[in-house]
């Protein structure tokens, strides 16, 4: 007779959902029928409406043949649920690169040994990030802001790792925090095993790109390709995939 949350696309507000409210509240005599309505934006394909008549529909099954479920979820929640999503191959590749980066970050945390003297900053950073993500999610499920806060946090911890300033105890706490956040985001996947020499070549290429030495970077891309891996450059970093 009553719901806390009811979802649906924006085109269902009138007449469908207004009819539901009128019918159910008249029948039950209870108000409100729904406490929170979540009306989502539409999905377009490279600026055009997704429809069978245009033959541009992409199913979840199609996407999962080439990308993980976590990459798909990341793509969806990187936009606010009320906003439209304009699907493109670049967008899903960016999302796959982002989830790959998170998985690699967690794997990096697993191999940290020993402890350092000053680790209070880690607990403070975890607490602040948790608070900011909570505020974002309380603000009409603002997942884009929550994701941004998560990546700011990962960047800070990566800096500490690079400086050998993160101990095992707090690496474990960071891992636990990420997994707790993932309990509602659902974007952490098992990272694909990439050979150490490939990872090193990719890092060298990224350094060359940052130095704007694109000729040598392209040579490394060709070398990596000859070893059976492809690279797609995205705002979240390189997406590395084994060539099928």
CA pseudo-torsion sign 218, 220, 224, 225: positive
pLDDT of 118-172, one tens digit each? 667 899 999 999 999 999 999 999 999 999 999 999 999 999 988 888 999 999 9
pLDDT, average across residues 46-58: 84
Q: Name the helix (H) or strand (E) containing 34.
A: strand 34-40
pLDDT of 58-90, one tens digit each? 899 999 999 999 999 999 999 999 999 999 999
- Please state the pTM of the whole predicted model: 0.84
Rounded to the nearest 5 percent, the helix, strand and coil shares of the chain are 55, 15, 30
Find the radius of gyration of the CA atoms of the chain: 22
Distance CA 228, CA 195 (A): 11
Q: What percent of the chain has pLDDT above 90?
A: 69
Neighbours of 100 (CB within 10 A): 24
Helical spans, DSSP H, in 41-119: 60-64, 69-77, 89-110
């Amino acid at each position: 007779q009553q719901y806390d949350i009811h979802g649906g696309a924006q085109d269902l507000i009138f007449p469908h959902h207004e009819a539901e409210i009128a019918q159910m509240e008249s029948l039950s005599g209870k108000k409100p029928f729904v406490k929170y309505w979540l009306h989502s934006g539409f999905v377009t394909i490279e600026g055009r409406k997704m429809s069978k008549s245009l033959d541009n529909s992409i199913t979840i099954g199609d996407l999962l043949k080439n990308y993980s479920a976590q990459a798909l979820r990341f793509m969806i929640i990187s936009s606010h649920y009320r906003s439209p999503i304009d699907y493109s191959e670049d967008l899903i590749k960016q999302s796959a690169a982002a989830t790959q980066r998170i998985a690699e970050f967690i794997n990096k945390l697993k191999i940290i040994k020993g402890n350092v003297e000053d680790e209070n900053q880690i607990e403070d950073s975890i607490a602040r990030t948790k608070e900011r993500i909570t505020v974002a999610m309380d603000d009409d499920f603002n997942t884009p802001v929550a994701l941004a806060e998560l990546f700011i946090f990962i960047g800070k911890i990566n800096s500490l790792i690079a400086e050998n300033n993160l101990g095992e105890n707090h690496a474990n706490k960071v891992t636990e925090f990420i997994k707790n956040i993932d309990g509602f985001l659902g974007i952490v996947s098992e990272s694909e095993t990439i050979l150490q020499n490939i990872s090193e070549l990719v890092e060298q290429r990224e350094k060359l790109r940052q130095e704007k030495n694109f000729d040598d970077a392209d040579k490394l891309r060709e070398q990596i390709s000859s070893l059976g891996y492809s690279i797609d450059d995205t705002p979240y970093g390189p997406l590395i995939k084994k060539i099928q």
